[in-house]
Amino acid sequence: MATSRVPAAIDALLAILRAAPALAEVTIIDGPPVGDMADADLVAVGWSPSAEAGAELAQDFASAGARTRDEDFTVTGWIESWSGDSDVAPRRTRAFALLAVVEDAIRATGPNPDAPTLNGAVLWAHLTRAQLQQFSTDQGIRAGLAFTVSCRARI
């Protein structure tokens, strides 16, 4: 019996995002970046520089008899856009465009009707929060969006 659906949900979210045609040129990583991340566009699942946790979960009995449990959890993510110049607006616009792709990727579509269930990993999932962060570095402007995907599962 599974203790949590969090690992399966993160794996499914990564698979869905990696399969999204609009993210074909974007680096999609599992967890925190390692080494120098000089990619122009990045999506990290299960990590955000401002988050204390990659995922948070809470469980409770689903019904009398304690045979099943409901699990509510959030998965943290990070989107970053960088070009090496000092113009903020295009980086911010690109970060929000990538957030839209992430949101669309976990909505039901004709080619992927199971996206809101993260391909069966959860009962439902949806984008629920985002927070814009803009940085001026010695390598140019970076715009980032910390985002949260909220899920419910039955275990």
Angstrom distance (rounded) from CA 107 to CA 14: 14
Average pLDDT over residues 79-87: 91
Share of the chain above pLDDT 70, in %: 95
Give the phi and the psi of residue 61 in degrees, each rounded to 5: -65, 140
The reported pTM is 0.91
Average pLDDT over residues 126-139: 93
pLDDT at 61 over 90: no
Residue 64 exposed, middle or buried by CB count within 10 Å (0-12, 13-18, 19+) = exposed
Tally of CA atoms within 13 A in the half-sphere of 133 that contains its CB: 15
Angstrom distance (rounded) from CA 37 to CA 99: 19
pLDDT at 1 over 70: no
Share of the chain above pLDDT 90, in %: 72
Rounded to the nearest 10 degrees, what angle do helices 6-19 and 88-105 cross at? Answer: 110
Specify whether the CB–CB gap between 63 and 111 falls below 8 A: no
pLDDT tens column, 14-48: 999 999 999 999 999 999 988 766 668 999 999 99
pLDDT at 64 over 70: no
Angstrom distance (rounded) from CA 46 to CA 74: 9
pLDDT at 136 over 60: yes
DSSP at 8: H
* Domains detected in the chain: 6-31+39-82+91-154 (3.30.2000.10)
pLDDT at 50 over 90: no
Give pLDDT, residue 51.
85
Torsion region of 10: left, alpha or beta (phi above 0 gives left; psi -120 to 50 gives alpha) = alpha
Burial 23-45 (b: 16+ CB within 10 A, else e): beebebbeeeeeeeeeeebbbbb
